[in-house]
């Protein structure tokens, strides 16, 4: 059974991110406020509901792709969607015992998805993203 971030987990995650000892991210994170939390949680809640009711594929990488794509495309006019999609997709994989590799490729993918027009070709993008993710993760346990 896969697990999804809830509001509390996301709060902890974004609380720890700026305090990182390796590379300071405080100035580089998207604006994390009430609206950001609502936007992220609305995407995750819907994906989780469809997963639990069996309406969506049950595969980790398909769900990771959905999270990445839907957060990236949540609101085109809002700054930070690309960063948010990476931050939350990494968290989703982490909670499910995986770590994502290849950050530069992920940055380029996030940019290409953001540039794609509306939600045209969504299925093709999801296929491409899940294929990408499936070959760029490591199992943690």
Partner 1 sequence: MGDMNTLALNKEEKKQLKELFSKNFSKLSDKEKKEVLQLGVKDFSKRFGPIIQKLASE
CB contact set of 110 (below 8 Å; sequence gap of 6+): 68, 72, 82, 83, 85, 86
Beta carbons within 10 angstroms of residue 88's beta carbon: 23
* Among the residue ranges 16-24, 40-48, 59-67, 116-124, the one whose residues contact partner 1 (CB under 8 A): 16-24
Q: Which of 74, 95, 116, 128 binds partner 1 (CB under 8 A)?
A: 95
Beta strands in the chain (DSSP E): 98-100, 137-139
Q: Which of 40, 67, 88, 106 binds partner 1 (CB under 8 A)?
A: 106
Pick 10 or 43: Cβ nearer partner 1: 10
Angle between helices 34-52 and 81-95 (to 10 degrees): 50
* Among the residue ranges 51-59, 65-73, 82-90, 117-125, the one whose residues contact partner 1 (CB under 8 A): 82-90
Beta carbons within 10 angstroms of residue 36's beta carbon: 18
Please classify residue 102 by burial: count the beta carbons closer than 10 Å to its beta carbon, then call 0-12 exposed, 13-18 middle and 19+ buried: middle
Decide: is 90 part of the binding site for partner 1 (CB under 8 A). Answer: yes
Binding flags for partner 1, 22-61, as an x/- string (CB under 8 A): xxxx-xxxx-------------------------------
Which residue ranges make up the site for partner 1 (CB under 8 A)? 1, 3, 9, 12-13, 16-17, 19-25, 27-30, 82-83, 86-87, 90-91, 94-97, 99, 101, 103-104, 106-107, 110-111, 135-141
């Amino acid at each position: 059974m896969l697990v999804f971030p809830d509001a509390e987990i996301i709060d902890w995650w974004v609380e720890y991110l700026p305090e990182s000892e390796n590379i300071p991210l405080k100035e580089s994170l998207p604006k994390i406020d009430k609206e950001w939390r609502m936007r992220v949680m609305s995407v995750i809640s819907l994906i989780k509901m469809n997963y639990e009711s069996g309406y969506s594929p049950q595969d980790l990488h398909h769900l990771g792709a959905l999270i990445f794509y839907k957060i990236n495309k949540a609101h085109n006019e809002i700054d930070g969607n690309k960063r948010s999609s990476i931050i939350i997709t990494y968290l989703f994989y982490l909670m499910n015992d995986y770590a994502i590799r290849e950050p530069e490729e992920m940055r380029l993918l996030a940019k290409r998805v953001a540039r794609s027009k509306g939600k045209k070709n969504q299925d093709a993008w999801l296929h491409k993203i899940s294929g990408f993710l499936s070959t760029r993760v490591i199992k943690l346990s």
